[in-house]
Structure 1
Amino acid sequence: MSKGHGVGQVQSPGNGDSSVRLRVLSYNVHGQRDDVDALAEVVRSLEPDVVIVQEAPRRFRWRHKCAALADRLGLVVAAGGLPALGNLLLTSLRVQVYRTWCQQYPLTPGRHLRGGVFAECGIGTSRFVLAGSHLSTDPTERPGQAALFKQELAALRLPVVVGADLNENSGGGAWRTVADGLTDAAVVADAAERFTFSCVYPHNRIDALFVDPRIGVLDYDVVDTPQTRRASDHFPIRADLLLPAAL
């Protein structure tokens, strides 16, 4: 069991019995440079329906490497990899994927390429969009990248679930841009003091999970275990959500 706490939370108004539960994991896997067996153990034990991955394979033989990562975690690739510059969406077979697209932010010479990934998904009668991004460590780049990511999110009609490594703490300008109009799952669950980075010296909450206000947050945790401390330099975020019925 993780050392964090989960908190029951209100359901979206009018969901009724047709609402659907969704377990989401948002996880910066550090390019699989740590203990990959521990990484697989962590993800499989949490039994997510979807995983929003940062620092996934994005270079030579990236398709094969993304598929191998998904298989190791007991999931399938929905979207991402090189076209999303290391952002990746993985799903269980419970989730249907209807369409996917990727986003690349303008390159600043000498900096890393960054991007976003999106997938329109469904479980039963519920439809939603899964989205992920990993913003720059450079504070001069982040605001523009956040604005481009938010522009894509704002154009969506369906409820959105967003997992991102924002590379800044809550309250920063880029964080506020992405969070605008969305629910911060950690805040709703009274867990905003839980740090996500680094596993060696936890002192920052730079990883976020945001959801559309139409989505209920049933439970939230920053998963801190011996396995997660070996698996990556970031702790994974796990949340149980309640999706609204078909809109």
Structure 2
Amino acid sequence: MPLRVVSYNIHSQRDDAAALVAVARSTAPDVMIVQEGPRRLRWRQRSAALAASFGLVVAAGGLPALGNLLLTSLRVRVTGTRCQRFPLTPGRHLRGAAYADCLVGRDARFTVAGSHLSTDPAERPAQAERFARELTGAPAPVIVGADLNEEADGPAWAVVAAGRTDAAVAADRADRPTFPRGPLHRRIDALFVDPRITVVHYDVVDTPQTRLASDHLPILADLLLPGPD
């Protein structure tokens, strides 16, 4: 069963709002994994409004997941959700994750998860461990989208990637940065999938609009979900 997934750090909607909406709608995802979504005052209404502007609905996340938000098209049925908060390190920002168990068609099930790890290299590995541990025993093939705040040679990246396919590597596009601002162009956002899921297409959407919409570039992947065992 085909599934289009976008993973996107939207920079707390601080940039060009019209460009952000245009980018989201142009990618036409079945699932959008959002980092830095609404997490404070009126977060439910703001999350619903954001999803509607993208042509999607809220599946999970928001304040309980500390800004991690899972959005879906009406093609996807959500059968269960949960949120996670990582322990607070004094002086640092709270971080967390969102999870949703989903169904496409009659029997193509998958679990989608999103997180945004700390900018502190000493704090990230423990968060990655908790994030990965929550996915152990997921009832269906897992799709993970995350802003890991480090590149593929980092320890937290290795923990989240373990046992999963890096969609960028599978598509031979691991050289494409997702964080283009500043002097260093880095791939710090990733999409990992269960080995049973086929990566049909992967790209980092780099256009004039995406440069206006956020400080990160969106990841877009076309996947093929396995049928029931």
The bucket for the TM-score relative to the shorter chain is over 0.9
Structure 2 Cα separation of the partners of residues 73 and 136 of structure 1: 27
What code does the residue aligned with 1:115 have? G
Q: Deviations over 1:174-205 (max 9, x none)?
A: 00000000000000100000000034656100
Shift of 1:76: 0.2
Question: Does the residue aligned with 1:70 lie in a helix, a strand or coil?
Answer: helix
Structure 2 Cα separation of the partners of residues 203 and 46 of structure 1: 22
Structure 2 Cα separation of the partners of residues 62 and 201 of structure 1: 34
Structure 2 Cα separation of the partners of residues 130 and 197 of structure 1: 22
| C-alpha spacing 1:157/1:174, structure 2 compared with 1 (3 Å) | same
Structure 1 gaps, min length 5: 1-19
Match of 1:161 in 2: 143
Structure 1 Cα separation of the partners of residues 119 and 147 of structure 2: 10
Question: Does the residue aligned with 2:32 lie in a helix, a strand or coil?
Answer: strand
Structure of higher RCO (CA pairs closer than 8 Å, 6+ residues apart)? 1
Structure 2 Cα separation of the partners of residues 184 and 135 of structure 1: 17
Shift of 1:155: 2.4
Identity %: 67
Structure 2 Cα separation of the partners of residues 240 and 178 of structure 1: 20
Question: Does the residue aligned with 2:156 lie in a helix, a strand or coil?
Answer: helix
What code does the residue aligned with 1:238 have? L
Contact 1:102 1:117 in 2 (8 A): yes
How many pairs are equivalent?
A: 228
The counterpart of 1:142, out of the listed 105, 113, 124, is 124
Query: What's the RMSD between the two structures over aligned residues?
Result: 0.9
TM-score by length of 1: 0.91
Structure 1 Cα separation of the partners of residues 86 and 159 of structure 2: 16
What code does the residue aligned with 2:206 have? D
Structure 1 Cα separation of the partners of residues 125 and 169 of structure 2: 22
TM-score by length of 2: 0.98
Structure 2 gaps, min length 5: none
Shift of 1:157: 3.3
Match of 1:7 in 2: none
Match of 1:41 in 2: 22
Match of 1:231 in 2: 213
The counterpart of 1:208, out of the listed 166, 190, 201, is 190
Runs of 4+, deviation exceeding 2 Å: 198-202
Contact 1:199 1:235 in 2 (8 A): no
Contact 2:198 2:224 in 1 (8 A): yes
Structure 2 Cα separation of the partners of residues 94 and 211 of structure 1: 20
